[in-house]
Structure 1
Amino acid sequence: MCKTPTYCDLGKAAEDVFNKGYGFGMVKTDLKTKSCSAVEFSTSDHAYTDRGKASGNLEPECKFCIYGLTFTQKRNTDNTLGTETSLENKLAEGLKLSLDTILVPNTGKKSGELKASYKWDCFSVGSNVDIDFSGPSIYSWAVLVFEGWLAGYQMSFDTAKSKLSQNNFALGYEAADLQLHTHVNDGTEFGGSIYQKLDCRTSLSAKVNNASLIGLGCTQTLRPRVKLTLYQL
C-alpha cells in the first residue's frame, strides 16, 4: 500500500536548502547510534561563531514493534524535557495516535499535545490538539493524491480567540526522480521548490520564496554511506 505524505512532507526533499546543512556562522554536528538493546540515540548540537552561543539535544527512542508502540524522550541544553508516546498501525492500518508532553523544570511550565493521523494510498489527514484548558489550539491538515499530483491544506484554529491563525495551501507533483512544490501561506507568503534526482548518487534541489531568498543544493554520494552536500544561497 502506497502511503500519502503528510502536509509537512510536501516539498521536503528541497527543504534542506534553507533549513539543514546550510548557514553562515554556524557549526553543526549530528550523531545517531543504536544500542544492543535496540534503543536508538540521536544527538545534535549547534555552535554560532558570531554570537558564541551553543545548544544541543539528546533523543533516546525505544520501539516495541510487536505492540506498535514507540517511546521517545527529548532533552536539550535549555533544560527542557519532552516525552512522546505513539501507537501506530494497531487499531487500524495507517492510523497513528500520539501524546507529546513538555516540562520545563526551572519554571514548572507544562504543556501537552494530542495527535492523530491517518494515511492511505490516495489521501492523508491529521489533527493536533493542545492540552490547554484556557482554550486549546486545533491544528489540522489534509493531502490528496491523483496520478502523481498532490494538493494539500493546512489550518490552525485558536479556540480562545475563536480565530483562524493559519490558513495554508500547497500543490505539488512527485515522480520517481522529480519533485515539484508550490505553497501559499496565509495569502501573504509564496514559495516553490524543485528536486531532481540525476542518478542513484546525485541530486539537485532549488527553492525560492517571495522574500527574494533563492537556495541551490547539490548532493553527491561518494561511498555507500558517505554523502557530500553543497549549498548556495
Structure 2
Amino acid sequence: MEFSAVLRSRRSIRAFSDRPVQKDTINDILLDAIESPSSSNTQPYKVAVADGDTCKQLGQELLSRYYKINKIQRLPLPLKLFSAATSQAMPDGDYKPILGKYPGIFQNRRMATGKGLYDTLGIARGDKQARDEAMARNFTFFDAPVAIFVFIHPSMKFTALVDSGIMMQSLMLSATDRGLGTCPQGALGMWRSPLEKYFDIPKGYKLVCGLALGYPKEDDKVNLYRPEKLSLDELIIVKK
C-alpha cells in the first residue's frame, strides 16, 4: 500500500480470526520493526513472541488472574485486604499503575473513546457484566494467534520508552501493510510472572506492555470502530 494508506488503515483490532500467522511473516514484521530509529542507536528493547500453544496457555493464565482480581475488588474492605495479600492474582508488573483516572482533557478523550467502543459493541453504560467481559478479552489477546510483549532496559530512562514506542509503531504499520491487524495493549503489562514461566527474560529488562497480532476477523463490527483523532488546530502549538 501507499504509506498514507497504511497509516489510515491501521486501527486497534479487537476481534481476530483463527488463521495462524506463519513464523516467517512474524520475523519479517520484526525485521521491519528493528529498522526503527532509537536514541544513538541504543535499541534498548526486546520482545517476547507468544504463538501457538504458548499464546493460548498464557492467555488463559492471564484471564484467570483478571477474573480473580475482579472478584477481589468487589469484596468488603477486610476481605479485600486479606485476599489481596494471599492471592497470586495481584498485579506484579514492572510499571504501576497500569490503569487509572487520567487528568483533565485526557480523561475526557478516554471516556469518549470508551463510549464509542461500547456503543459499537452494543454495551449499555450500566451493563457492568458486559463491560467486564469486554475488558476480559484483553487477556486472551482478542483471540489473536500471536501476542508480543515489549520490554525495555530502564538504564536508558525515558528514552527507552520513547524508542520502544517508535519500534511498536513500525511493527504495527508493517503488519498492516501485510494485511494483518494489531492491538497495542497496556493491560498486558499488569502481570510479569506468567511470562517468566515461558520466556528467559534477560536480567534488568522491564515489561512495558503487549500487542496482539493476527488476521482481523472479517465482518466483525468492533473492527470498524475508529476513535476521533486530533485536528491540526488541536495538535499545533501556535506562535507568539
TM interval, shorter chain, is under 0.3
Q: Greater Rg, structure 1 or structure 2?
A: 1
TM-score normalised by length of structure 2: 0.20
Relative to total residues, which structure has the larger strand share, 1 or 2?
1
Greater relative CO, 1 or 2 (CA 8 Å, sep 6+) = 2
